[in-house]
Structure 1
């Protein structure tokens, strides 16, 4: 991507060679992952990165443990724990990354919105985490490297008063517990 931007900048600069306007072309800024503070089951409060695209960089680095990543493109239908086909790509990317770091251990935390009883939402959160674990194991990740927990409805990231908020609360988090 940066190479393509560099080539475009070079072509633009060359096309303007015989002109008196010599303004430089600045490369487009790249977006950095957004950090938020999230409370995670059994881990207390931790910095969370939205999306799992930074997982490999983190595993290769030396930042302290634990580190929480929120699946950005994985969500669940109301009262369901199956991974939708449209959401499987991010799980596949996580599996590919974990294959590169065989000593990494993770905790998957599943959450629910506030509809349903506390007990049902705890069970649903666990079923969602187990569903992600099963998908990772199916791609060759050793089950012993993955712990699953439920956050139920106890730690909402948005309001449960709107459909959009409930959608956000039906999330899954990945916590790196060992490298």
Structure 2
């Protein structure tokens, strides 16, 4: 049967060789469904467990979306009255909003504070956020940190980021510029 009677997956979850949906969607700039990764996946899993839909977890939830997330999410969708392809275990904006209380969006990003701001050696949570992003991008050159105080380690790390982005010479001097700042996607603090 198409539509009304289609189960969330073919076969059973305990054998038969069939697997839950492998679909993935993007909602508010974040990926959900099999193979998605991130803190937002953990947040969905924890919300499912809190609402009583965690029986398929043997470990977790998160940060990687697995078959357990799909099966638990499908059970949650069915509890909302969804059926067929609407209960396939892959979030849609409406069910995700019902689970989390709001549809998540892209995280707010910090605007470029200006080159002069960095030359004043600021102390700010924004420096810590920048440093964490540099580490996540494989450009961290920190013995300690990152921390809130702008240091030579921040400058070395930012220079590594500039080189990773294809800049060289004086354009990879470690002083942030708008283009590389925007590409780094530092979260607002």
For CA contacts below 8 A with separation 6 or more, give which structure has more relative contact order: 1
Q: TM-score, normalised by structure 1?
A: 0.30
Name the structure where strand makes up a greater proportion of residues: 1
Q: TM-score, normalised by structure 2?
A: 0.28
Structure 1 or 2, whichever has the larger Rg, is 2
